[in-house]
Structure 1
């Protein structure tokens, strides 16, 4: 593994352990050249996923991009980082088990919406405001009203 500090090619694994949810292996490494320590994570990947975006664009699925989107939606909310990590792992697992190597950005968006609805209502509305492209306050009111009605059922 290349050192992120000095770019030396070799590092030594000092400690390995599973993450809390068991979806990855956390490894503490030390660079053999500069001695710096850093952490890496290894995850099982069932298949290479390609995301079909609007305008016929294609790009590889990026787990980090999904994590950032969820972290932004949950910013300053009482949502522990472990819950976000579990949601990201769950969404990725659902996408990988569809049987298709190409998925749509809409499919990802809907899975995120479903996950956030169960996780935190404010984060759900925040994400929806970007995903559904709210243009004015009325859009927020209409969506929040429909969310409120769902909660009363």
Structure 2
């Protein structure tokens, strides 16, 4: 009775099975990290692009709807039908204060900022009919240009 063999795995077979399982787990974890890192980078890039598109859309819309655009110390004040929309241009961000009710912050690098009126540099308190600056998305420079066409009525008010 003592010499009877029991059906079981040898120590070597168990060790090999554990080694194969450890390799499979390591491969799965590495693949998961690579995929989640790629997804995170994709999401960050899409967020930067969405920020850029939203800021560009709002600037175009506000330039179009504004009755008058005036240069202020930190940016622009756009006089609208419902109030004033203020834009604050900084090197690292753009602030949009809509009627003092809501402030949007856009993380955009802003370089080469120019405010012009009739192709001459606008001074503080004077009207603005052109705004241009450069921003950067993923180390690619993008130039933006906005123009306001005034009517004679707008300029004499």
Q: Give TM-score scaled by structure 1 length.
A: 0.22
Structure with more of its chain in helix, by fraction: 1
Q: Which has the larger radius of gyration?
A: 2
Structure with more of its chain in strand, by fraction: 2
Q: Give TM-score scaled by structure 2 length.
A: 0.22
